[in-house]
Amino acid sequence: MEIITADQLATLGHPQRLAIFRMLMRRYPDRVPAGEIAAALAIKPSTLSAYLSNLLDSGLLTQTRSGTSLRYTIHVNRVQTMLDFLLLDCCRGRPDMCSPLAATFGQGLQDMVSDKLNVLFICTGNSARSIFAETLLRDMAGDRFAVYSAGTKPYSELNPMAIDLLRGKGHDVSDLRAKNVQEFIQPDAPRFDFVFTVCDRAANEECPTWEGQPVTAHWGMEDPVKATGSDAERSLAFQAAYGALRNRITSFTAMPMDTLDRISLQRAVDDIGQTEKAPNA
């Protein structure tokens, strides 16, 4: 065990291999094409191939083939074994020395919060997908959640087709606006219990390390704003995104938040992110 862990830590000691590992952790359980990793991290394909081989050899990643594309994801069991060794063996299970997060693994959210649960949805532009998610969760369970959305590179205005769809579904859009994620790392910002990325690009980017260690997950889906074709075809893309998020948020609100510990919550929100997209709403 010590030899394996030492090899894994040595592999992660290289800054670019660590960057690949961090990106795939943020995207887990997605299987990400090598080309997308190279583009997101600005690594030459030949160099990336060597780094991926190192990570595969150390057991930190798994590789699958989809057509002509090789896709990569975290080998979650091996990573958990490595972390268990560090926390339980090296640190003797002392969270005060090793990790404040370890002390919360067995807690449910009812032990960590006293009022509404704070939820943040992030995408790149904050003009459609994260706005849909914010609106849906607020309208479906606003008595239980304080809901926010933001963009890593927000547009100045919300997408008109997204707003028209929300109005057509009976949602109040009067208070919606595009916001930068930087608003939510200020000292007076809410302390989040859940943070979800709803687009791949936002998940690939370096987001803040959130105070309080919220439960995080990636619920990526295609960007309806980039849809092409006729107005009807573009409208269908927005309907699909809305429907997929509605399905996921329905599952999220049905979770027994007060009885699940952090590990169970994390698994549940990861599973929700893998649900099929709705063809329409």
Catalytic residue annotation: 123, 199, 207
Contact between residue 118 and residue 146 where contact means Cβ atoms under 8 Å apart? yes
Closest CA to 254 of 244, 239, 268: 268
Dihedral through CA 13, CA 17, CA 21, CA 22, nearest 10? 80
Token duo for residue 247? 């399905």
User: Number of H helices and number of E strands within the chain?
Assistant: 11, 7
- Prior bond to 208 cis, omega within 30? no
Identify the sign of the CA torsion 225, 228, 231, 235: negative
Whole-angstrom distance, CA of residue 239 vs CA of residue 254:
23
Q: DSSP per residue over 55-97, as a string?
A: HHHTTSEEEEEETTEEEEEE-HHHHHHHHHIIIIIISTT-HHH
Contact call for residues 203 and 26 (beta carbons, < 8 A): yes
148's enclosing H/E stretch is: strand 145-151
Length of the chain counted residue by residue: 281
Question: Burial letters for 77-94: b for 16+ Cβ neighbours within 10 Å, e otherwise?
Answer: ebbebbeebebeeeeeee
The closest alpha carbon to 81, from 159, 189, 5, belongs to: 5
